[in-house]
Amino acid sequence: MCTTCGCGPGEVTVEGHAHDHDHDHEHGAHGDLHYGHGAAHSHAPGMSQEKMVAVERGILDKNDRFARANRRWLAERGVLALNFVSSPGSGKTSLLVETIRRLQGELPLAVIEGDQQTSNDAERIRATGARAIQINTGKGCHLDASMVEHALAHLAPADDSVLFIENVGNLVCPAAFDLGEAAKVVVLSVTEGEDKPLKYPDMFAAAQLMLLNKVDLLPYLDFDVAKAIDCARRVNPAIEVLQVSATRGQGMDGWLDWVRAAAGRARAERAARRAEAARKLALLEEHIATLR
């Protein structure tokens, strides 16, 4: 097992400068201490009540707080954020490059790239003309919400834009880490096995959409598309599936329509938030007027 896996201070870099994993963010009041559990409820009958402290907090509490803050930040700006996850080599970057080429001019786009090392993927994205920022996790195996928060501050995506987050190629760990995205999109290529979803259930269960990529290669493979979709639906009955070829174009129109619809929902949510804020402001002003 890799004993140095996991982010440590100084190991994670965002475009060359170190990212201190321990942000000095304010912590609200959490973990109410209450001593209400009697011996009957504790797992150590006979142990003095004062020595048991109820915590009831998720292990990923801190990441979840960052994720919630990211989600709120994105929603306030009407930004659609999608978290792309897959094995290494499924074609995520190529898919993003082709998606950007087709959507450019129509929707403002920006990308957060995640890899252990190199800026190769961010550079490929930038070559399309879209803005990108690279996160290098060093020994880390997944992006987490605090890294994304840091990247958002640097990238500053425009209002009503689309943000693609390409996670570290890994079908295991990223499943557990909410980044604040609107949806996880899992990319499975036809050069992988049909039973991937059964072997890596956590990821496919966490995804809203599965993109079956490289379908142009189907004539040369024994890949059973129906079986792959069936496997995905076993671990996630609600998962949506689209078949695409990033390099040859099949299915890309359907995928772009999916992105457009999701972006439309993000914009609508922002408009609704603003309308609500304006309504509250009007009420407040009305109330102030009556006080005069």
Partner 1 sequence: MHEMSLAEGLIQVVEEAAGARTVRTVRLEIGRLAAVELSALRFAFEVVRQGTVAQDAALDVVALPGQAWCMKCCQTVTVEARGDGCPRCGSHQLQVTGGDEMRVKELELA
Binding site for partner 1 (CB under 8 A): 1-7, 21, 27, 30-31, 33, 37, 42-44, 47, 51-63, 140-142, 144, 172-173, 175-177, 197-198, 201-202, 205, 233-235, 237-238
Distance from the Cα of residue 138 to its chain's centroid: 19
**Closest separation in Å from C-beta 23 to partner 1:** 12
**Closest separation in Å from C-beta 97 to partner 1:** 28
Handedness of CA 192, 194, 200, 203 (dihedral sign): positive
Handedness of CA 58, 4, 193, 187 (dihedral sign): positive
Is the Cβ of residue 40 or residue 238 nearer to partner 1 in the bound state?
A: 238
The full DSSP string for 59-87 is TTHHHHHHHHHHHHHHHHTT-EEEEEEES
Is the Cβ of residue 107 or residue 229 nearer to partner 1 in the bound state?
A: 229
**Closest separation in Å from C-beta 65 to partner 1:** 11
**Closest separation in Å from C-beta 17 to partner 1:** 21
Q: Which two tokens stand for residue 220?
A: 């040369």
The owner of tokens 């994304």 is: 148
Strands 13-14 and 131-136: antiparallel
Contacts of 148 by beta carbon, 8 Å cutoff, 6+ apart: 66, 70, 112, 135, 165, 179, 180
Is the Cβ of residue 172 or residue 272 nearer to partner 1 in the bound state?
A: 172
Is the Cβ of residue 47 or residue 271 nearer to partner 1 in the bound state?
A: 47
**Closest separation in Å from C-beta 212 to partner 1:** 18
Is the Cβ of residue 34 or residue 287 nearer to partner 1 in the bound state?
A: 34
